[in-house]
Structure 1
Amino acid sequence: MELNFEQIREILPHRSPFLLIDRVTDLVPGESAEAVKCVSGNEPFFQGHFPEKAVMPGVLILEALAQTGAVAILSLPENEGKLAFFGGVKNCRFRRQVVPGDVLNLRCYLTRMRGSVGFGEVEATVDGETAVTGEISFAIGEV
């Protein structure tokens, strides 16, 4: 299943400039999601990170990965209208810089749920080259 920008906005509460995924290219509710972020030189964070050499902050790549995972878990009917709160990051590795013009491919595979707490494996790539890998945790909560 694919989702366009407006459909993503129906699931996630994030709005510009903090909605960091443009399109969901594959979605299996409750299991996995793949998304795309087209990195533009006009992103507000590039004004300060870094003025002489624009590099997407690693924490924002992690946030984009978390938003991808949030789409996977919040697309389940029982989670409609709820929020997914970032719980933690483990084994995170930054392997490549992400710069303006890159198309960031984001993947999150949900590995387990324990009550309202979930875990997922994440990976971000650019042109088939790994940019970030790690594991995330999150908690499902009410609005």
Structure 2
Amino acid sequence: MLIRPFALSDLSTVVALWADAGLTRPWNDPIKDIERKLTTQPELFLVGEHDGAVIATVMIGYDGHRGWVHYLAVAESRRGERLGQALMAEAERLLTERGCPKINLMVRSGNERVIGFYESIGYGTDEVAVLSKRLIPDV
């Protein structure tokens, strides 16, 4: 798998991959999420490709205090090949290179398969409550 920055030509494939992976929600427009990411650290929005096809993604950010990971997705037909692990290793490398001391990510409650994946690569659960407030509605 070649890991490279997202290109606009990847848009429809990436949105379809996220939908297939169960990452999209009606209240979050994935195209708007991509447009927003492209205004801030666009080099930290990565895709994995094989034979010219996008098969994986990860969206990374660093706010100067913590790194964040969003939209890690691997095509269902390619799961089990350690592609998610490879993308997370690249995310960790890029964030470490920027001086980031810790990565945070969110997994929806009850998604034990994904929690198990992250635990298998060294992540642990912090006992925190995630609070949020929508500032700009997507719908």
In the superposition, the TM-score normalised over structure 2's length comes to 0.28
Q: In proportion to residue count, which structure has more helix?
A: 2
Q: Which structure has more strand as a fraction of its residues?
A: 1
TM-score (norm 1): 0.28
